[in-house]
């Protein structure tokens, strides 16, 4: 089955053509980062307008790169939520129109489930059950995934998402947006134990996260010290990253042990952080736990993961009709 996937929940307009839920024929991403950059964050109204401009050319490009004609598409999947309503509506309405015009099924995909499905787009996907972390600019959620339709939420952030903390710390250090990649790069040359920032683990039975304490500690440190040199910024970047990685790794391993589960899959923008992936693999190996991560190009928002999740939903008959609407807040 050939599925056209469409993603437009935030500031990326993306389309992809995926065969049988696992084989990517094309994946096109048009980013709006440059437009929102000067406002210091995503402007919802601007995002909707830019999605409208980008959606048709992006889909055309995805079909072209896949060497597929519209007539060969068997089904369409688009992000239904969570995300910015105006932005979601563009992709979701496009999918409805495409499905109506071609008389093929369409389905609406949960963006967080889709991130987890980026793990099925690798050569070595995890078997069920596995512990899944979705760690991005908007979410830090741990799930226990037992089948294609069972995601048990074990924990989530009570304040900032991990990616959001990377972005805010980068902003404080004057390093620009998005913060994750530049912090990871700067941290490479430095000893991460240089400055000890707090690890907020909350109470020991909880799988919830809190990253605002680490962020505030960095703000206080910056306030009290001269951070004008690149050297000092790199020290802060490395020590901050270390604190976040420490918390993520500890909670994930604890969740796996709690469920007696030997597989952990990570996804979302922050899982592109190789220092995190390597550390998690190392730590997990001592407990004989295997770590699965998407290819770096599939960690951030993309439409291949939407098509992959859509494929399993369509196979199970979980199809949308034209009355279905988008949603802004997470439902899993
Ligand atoms: O999944 P994503 O593309 O969009 C959301 O759904 O939020 O994630 C974006 C987030 C940003 O906060 C960005 O700073 C973070 O992922 N990120 C990283 C890295 N690359 C992207 N964080 C840490 N290290 C990275 N290498
Ligand atoms: Zn995302």
Domains 2-116+301-315 and 125-293 equal at CATH topology level? yes
Asked if 105 and 238 count as a contact pair (C-beta separation under 8 A), the reply is: no
- How confident is the model at residue 324, as a pLDDT? 95
Any ligand 1 atom below 6 A from CB of 138:
yes
Supply the pLDDT for residue 205.
Answer: 85
On whether the CB atoms of residues 270 and 163 are closer than 8 A, the answer is yes
Domain 125-293 bears CATH identifier 3.30.420.40: yes
Ligand 1 neighbour 179 (Cβ under 6 A)? yes
Q: Is the CB of 270 under 6 A from ligand 1?
A: yes
The minimum-distance atom of ligand 1 relative to the CA of 272 is 26
User: What integer pLDDT is reported at residue 331 of this predicted model?
Assistant: 82
Q: Ligand 1, atom 8: nearest CA belongs to which residue?
A: 269
260 CA to centre of ligand 1 in angstroms: 29
- Domain spanning 2-116+301-315: which CATH class is it, in words? alpha beta
Distance of CA 115 from the midpoint of ligand 1 (Å): 12
Residue nearest to atom 19 of ligand 1 (CA): 180
**pLDDT reported for residue 104:** 98
Predicted local distance difference test score (pLDDT) of residue 178: 86
All residue ranges of the chain with pLDDT < 50 are none
Q: Which residues contact 178 (CB under 8 A, 6 or more apart)?
A: 33, 137, 163, 166, 167, 170, 269
The ranges assigned to domains in the chain are: 2-116+301-315, 125-293
Expressed in angstroms and rounded, the spacing between residue 268 Cα and the centre of ligand 1 is 7
Q: Is the CB of 180 under 6 A from ligand 1?
A: yes
Q: Note the pTM of the prediction, 2 decimals.
A: 0.95
Alpha-carbon distance of 276 to 98, in angstroms, equals: 40
Amino acid 36: pLDDT: 78
Cis peptide before 82 (omega within 30 of 0): yes
* pLDDT score for 191: 74
Give the tokens for residue 64. 């072209």
């Amino acid at each position: 089955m050939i599925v056209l996937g469409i993603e437009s929940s935030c500031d990326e307009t993306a389309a992809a053509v995926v065969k049988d839920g696992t084989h990517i024929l094309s994946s096109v991403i048009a980013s709006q980062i440059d437009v929102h950059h000067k406002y210091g964050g995503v402007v919802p109204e601007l995002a909707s307008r830019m999605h409208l401009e980008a959606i048709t050319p992006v889909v055309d490009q995805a079909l072209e790169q896949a060497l597929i004609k519209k007539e060969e598409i068997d089904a369409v999947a688009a992000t239904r939520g969570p995300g910015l309503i105006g932005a979601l509506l563009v992709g979701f309405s496009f999918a409805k129109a495409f499905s109506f015009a071609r008389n093929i099924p369409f389905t609406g995909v949960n963006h967080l489930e889709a991130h987890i499905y980026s793990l099925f787009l690798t050569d070595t996907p995890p078997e069920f059950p596995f512990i899944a972390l979705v760690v991005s600019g908007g979410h830090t959620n741990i799930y226990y995934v037992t089948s294609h339709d069972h995601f048990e939420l074990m924990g989530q952030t009570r304040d900032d998402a991990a990616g959001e903390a990377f972005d805010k710390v980068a902003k404080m250090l004057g390093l620009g947006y998005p913060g994750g990649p530049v912090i990871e790069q700067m941290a490479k040359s430095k000893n991460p134990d240089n400055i000890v920032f707090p690890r907020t683990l909350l109470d020991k039975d909880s799988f919830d996260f809190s990253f605002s304490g680490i962020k505030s500690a960095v703000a206080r440190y910056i306030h009290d010290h001269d951070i004008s040199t690149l050297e000092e910024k790199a020290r802060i970047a490395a020590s901050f990253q270390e604190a976040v990685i420490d918390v993520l790794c500890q909670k994930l391993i604890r969740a796996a042990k709690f469920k007696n589960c030997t597989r952990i899959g990570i996804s979302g923008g922050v899982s592109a952080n190789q220092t995190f992936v390597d550390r998690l693999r190392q730590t997990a190996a001592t407990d004989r736990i295997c770590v699965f991560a998407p290819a770096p190009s599939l960690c951030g928002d993309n439409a291949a993961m939407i098509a992959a999740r859509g494929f399993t939903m369509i196979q199970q008959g979980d199809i949308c009709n034209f009355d279905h609407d988008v949603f802004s807040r997470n439902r899993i």
